[in-house]
Chain A
Amino acid sequence: MTNAVLRQSVLIRGGTVVDASGSRVADVLVGSDGMIEAVGEGLKGDLELDAGGCIVSPGFVDLHTHLREPGKEEAETIESGSRGGALGGFTALVAMPNTTPPMDCVGVVRDVIELGKTALTDIFPSAAITVGRAGEQLSPMAELAKLGVRIFTDDGTGVQDDLLMKRALEYSVGLAPFTGGASVVLAQHCEVAALSDGGFMHEGEWSSRLGIPGQPAEAEELMVMRDIALAKSTGARVHFQHMSTAGSVSLIRAAKAAGLPVTAEATTHHFTLTDAACASFDTVFKVHPPLRTDADVAAVKVGLADGTIDAIATDHAPHCAHDKEQPFDSAPPGMLGLETALALALTELDQPVEKVVGLLSWQAAKIAGIDDVHGCPIEPGRPANITVFDPAEAWTIDSSSFASKSTNCPYEGHNVKGRVRHTIVNGEPVVIDQEATR
Chain B
Amino acid sequence: MTPKHLLSIDDLGREGIEEILGLTDSFVEVSARRIPKVPALRGKNIAWLFYEDSTRTRLSFETAAKRLSADTMNFSVGSSSVNKGESLRDTCLTISAMGVDAIVVRHRSAGVPWQIANWIDASVINAGDGWHEHPTQALLDTYTLRSHLGDLDGRHIAIVGDIKHSRVARSNLAAFTALGAEVTMVAPQTLLPPSLEGWNANVSHDLDAVLPTVDAIYLLRMQLERQTDALVPTLREYTDGYGLTTQRLAALGEKALIMHPGPMNRGVEICPEAADDPRSVITEQVANGVAVRMSVLFLLLGSGAEHEAGGLS
Residues of A within 8 A of B114 (CB): 280-281
A178 located at the interface, meaning its Cβ lies under 8 Å from any Cβ of chain B in the complex: no
Q: How far is the CA of A99 from the CA of B159 in the complex (A)?
A: 47
Q: Which chain A residues border B193 with CB–CB below 8 Å?
A: 207-209
With A322-B87, A325-B89, A326-B87: A208-B196 Cβ-Cβ less than 8 Å: yes
**Contact A214 B170, beta carbon cutoff 8 Å:** no
Q: Does B110 contact A (CB under 8 A)?
A: yes
Across-interface contacts of B129 in A (CB, < 8 A): 211
Q: How far is the CB of A432 from chain B (nearest CB, A)?
A: 39
Contact A210–B194 (Cβ < 8 Å): no
Name the residue of chain A whose CB is nearest to the CB of B170.
A211
Q: Is B197 an interface residue (CB 8 A)?
A: yes
- A281 in contact with B115 given A210-B132, A211-B167 (CB within 8 Å): yes
Within 8 A of B (CB), among A178-224: 203-205, 207-214, 216
B89 touches A329 (CB 8 A): no
For residue B114, which residue of chain A has the nearest CB? A281
The answer for the CA separation of A214 and B194 in the assembled complex, in Å, is 8
A-contact 0/1 string along B232-246, CB 8 Å cutoff? 000000000000000
Q: CB-CB < 8 A to A330: which residues of B?
A: 109
Interface contact A327-B195, CB-CB below 8 Å:
no
Known contacts A203-B194, A208-B195, A216-B194; decide if A327 and B132 are in contact (CB<8 Å): no
Q: How far is the CA of A205 from the CA of B198 in the complex (A)?
A: 8
CB distance from B261 to the nearest CB of A (A): 15
In the bound assembly, the distance between CA atoms of A326 and B109 in angstroms comes to 10
Closest to A329 in B: B109
| A279-307 interface (Cβ within 8 A of B) | 280-281
Interface string of B188-214 (1 = CB under 8 A from A): 000001111111000000000000000
CB pair A327 B198 closer than 8 Å: no
What's the nearest-Cβ distance from chain A to residue B205, in Å? 17
Name B166's closest neighbour in chain A (CB-CB).
A211
B111: which of A205, A214, A216, A327 is its contact (CB, 8 Å)? A327
Nearest chain B residue, comparing its CB with the CB of A216: B194
Residues of B within 8 A of A207 (CB): 193-195
Residues B100-117 near A (CB distance < 8 A) = 107-112, 114-115
- Number of B residues near A (Cβ < 8 Å) is 25
A211 to B110, CA, bound (A): 6
A205:B197 contact, CB within 8 angstroms = yes
Q: Which B residues, 63 to 106, have Cβ-Cβ distances below 8 Å to chain A?
A: 87-89
Q: How far is the CA of A328 from the CA of B112 in the complex (A)?
A: 8
The reply to whether B194 and A211 form a contact with Cβ atoms under 8 Å apart is no
* Any A CB within 8 A of the CB of B130: yes
Cα–Cα distance between A213 and B112 once the two chains are bound (Å):
15
Instruction: Confirm or deny: B62 has a beta carbon within 8 angstroms of a beta carbon on chain A.
Output: no
Interface residues of A in 101-118 (CB under 8 A from B): none
**Is B133's beta carbon under 8 Å from chain A?**
yes
Distance in Å from the Cβ of A306 to the closest Cβ of chain B?
28
Is there an interface contact between B115 and A327, defined as CB atoms closer than 8 Å? yes
Closest Cβ of chain A: how far from B49's Cβ, in Å?
12
Most A C-beta atoms less than 10 A away, residue of B88, B114, B195: B195
Q: Mark A248-279, 1 if CB is under 8 A from B, else 0.
A: 00000000000000000000000000000000
Number of interface residues of A (CB under 8 A): 21
Hey, which chain A residues are within 8 Å of B110, CB to CB? 210-212, 281, 328-329
A211 and B87 contacting across the interface, CB-CB below 8 Å: no
B61 within 8 A of A: no
Near B by CB (< 8 A), chain A positions 73-87 give: none
Shortest distance from the beta carbon of B124 to any chain A beta carbon, whole Å = 12
Q: A281-B110, A327-B112 are in contact. Are A212 and B130 (CB under 8 A)?
A: yes
Question: How many angstroms from the CA of A330 to the CA of B85 in the assembled complex?
Answer: 13
Please state if A329 and B194 are interface contacts (CB–CB under 8 Å): no
Residues of the A chain whose Cβ atoms lie less than 8 Å from the Cβ of B89 = 322, 325-326
A329 touches B87 (CB 8 A): no
Q: In the bound complex, do residue A328 and residue B111 qualify as a contact, i.e. CB atoms below 8 Å apart?
A: yes
Chain B residues, Cβ within 8 Å of A203: 194-195
Task: Tell me, rounded to whole Å, the shortest Cβ–Cβ distance linking B23 to chain A.
Answer: 28
> In the complex the two chains form, what is the Cα distance from A209 to B200 in whole Å?
11
**Choice from A216, A322, A329 contacting B108 with Cβ under 8 Å:** A329
**Which of A211, A322, A329 counts the most chain B CB atoms within 10 A?**
A211
Interchain CA distance A328-B110 in the complex, whole Å: 7
Contacts of B115 in A (CB 8 A): 281, 325, 327-328
Is B198 within 8 A of A211, CB to CB?
Answer: no
B298 adjacent to chain A (CB < 8 Å): no
Complex Cα distance, B8 from A280, in Å, reads: 13
In the bound complex, residues from chain A placing their C-beta under 8 Å from that of B108 are 327, 329
**Chain B neighbourhood of A205, CB < 8 A:** 195, 197-198
Q: Is residue B131 contacting chain A, with contact meaning CB distance below 8 A?
A: yes
**Are A328 and B109 touching (Cβ within 8 A)?**
yes
Interface residues of B in 240-265 (CB under 8 A from A): none
Q: By the criterion CB–CB under 8 Å, are B109 and A327 in contact? A: yes
B87 touches A210 (CB 8 A): no
Distance of A60 from chain B, by nearest CB (Å): 35
Residues of chain A with a CB closer than 8 A to B197's CB: 204-205, 208
A residues in contact with B112, CB < 8 Å: 281, 327-328
What residues of A have a CB within 8 angstroms of the CB of B87 in the complex?
322, 325-326
Of residues 304 to 331 in A, which have CB atoms within 8 Å of B's CB atoms?
322, 325-330
Q: Which of B133, B167, B194 contacts A208 (CB 8 A)?
A: B194
Contacts of A395-435 to chain B: CB distance below 8 A = none
CB pair A212 B132 closer than 8 Å: yes
Contact of A329 with B130 at beta-carbon distance under 8 Å, contacts A208-B193, A281-B111, A281-B114 already known:
yes
Bound complex: CA A210 to CA B110 (Å): 7
Task: Tell me which residues across on chain B come within 8 A of A281, comparing CB atoms.
Answer: 110-112, 114-115
Q: What is the bound-complex CA distance between A214 and B114, given in angstroms?
A: 20
A212–B109 CA distance with the chains assembled, in angstroms = 8
A-B contact list, 11 entries, CB within 8 Å: A204-B195, A208-B194, A210-B110, A211-B130, A211-B167, A211-B170, A281-B115, A327-B88, A328-B110, A328-B111, A329-B109
B binding-site residues for A, Cβ under 8 Å: 87-89, 107-112, 114-115, 129-133, 167, 170, 193-199
Q: A207-B194, A327-B88, A330-B109 are in contact. List 11 more A-B contacts (CB 8 A).
A: A209-B170, A209-B193, A209-B198, A211-B129, A211-B133, A212-B111, A213-B131, A325-B115, A327-B108, A328-B109, A329-B130
In the A-B complex, the 9 residue pairs with the closest CB atoms: A281-B111, A211-B131, A211-B132, A327-B109, A208-B193, A329-B109, A205-B197, A205-B195, A208-B195
